[in-house]
Structure 1
Amino acid sequence: MDFSAGIAEEKIKVALQKGEFENLPGKGKPLPKDDLTGVPDELRLSYKILKNGGFVPPEVQLKKEMVTLEELIAVCRDDKERSGLTQRLNEKIIRFNNLMEKRKMSQSSAFHSYQHKIYRKMY
């Protein structure tokens, strides 16, 4: 055991003895299901760090923006404003499709099979 691991272990033991872990939220309950089950083990930590930091892939961000624009269009009463929102949505759809094409998603049979589930998970 290296020096820093020894210090950490000692601090954990002291905290346990003081009862500092007794009233933690979720104590005795199972951990939430890992939503990165399809991600290779060596990439999971990186994905979790990015996710916790609020970073998402560009296609996910675009999809979120597209959903927001679709919702705004659905409730918009002004024709001029609706036209502008529709134009912005069309631009985002084109950018999204270009990103997906660059990643060769359109050629993936697995992607076509699970596309609706993937999109539902994105937003």
Structure 2
Amino acid sequence: MAILSWLAEQRIQEAMRGGEFANLPGHGKPLELEDLSGVPEELRMSYKIMKNAGLLPEEVTLRAECVTLEELLMACHTSGNSTGGERKELEGKLSLKRLRLQMLLQERGLESNAAYADYGDAIGQRLGGVERDGRE
């Protein structure tokens, strides 16, 4: 294996001397490293792959949709301009999203996973200050 490492290092040095790395995006700037410490270890690789592909896990998408619906409901209550029908429709959508999220977490065995619960709380805080159980 040492020969492969040596060969790789030689190729890298040769490319550097040839200026192939000179005009890369982010050249001369610090690396932006991702903090995956809040993601359960067994989910890190799959989440990273999905993120690089521009995809989000369904539970993250559902959480974000719940936060959006909660904000819309709060806006309905504070503005006073919305009809009762709009509020009921939003409450119905929110209930369905929460039910789907709960079912999804049960299917995947994540509802009792402490690391996932902490990660969910962190996502909720980042998305809008809402904890996992819906408290602010």
Q: How does the TM-score come out when normalised to structure 1?
A: 0.65
Q: What is the distance in 1 between the residues matched to 2:74 and 2:107?
A: 30
- Structure 1 residues 50 and 111: alpha-carbon distance in aligned structure 2, compared to 1, 3 A threshold: closer
> Equivalent pairs: percent with the same residue?
38
Superposition pairs for residues 1-123 of structure 1, below 5 Å?
A: 9=11, 13=15, 17=18, 19=19, 21-37=21-37, 38=39, 40=41, 44=45, 46-76=46-76, 77-79=81-83, 80-112=85-117, 115-120=120-125
- Offset of 1:27 from its aligned partner? 2.5
5+ residue gaps, structure 2? 129-136
5+ residue gaps, structure 1? none
Q: How does the TM-score come out when normalised to structure 2?
A: 0.60
Q: What is the distance in 1 between the residues matched to 2:51 and 2:117?
A: 25
Amino acid at match of 2:96: E
CA RMSD across the alignment: 3.5
- Offset of 1:53 from its aligned partner? 2.0
Number of equivalenced pairs: 115
**Contact residue 60 and residue 122 of structure 1 kept, 8 A:** no
Which has the larger helix fraction?
1
Q: What is the distance in 1 between the residues matched to 2:47 and 2:105?
A: 20
- Structure 1 residues 68 and 49: alpha-carbon distance in aligned structure 2, compared to 1, 3 A threshold: same
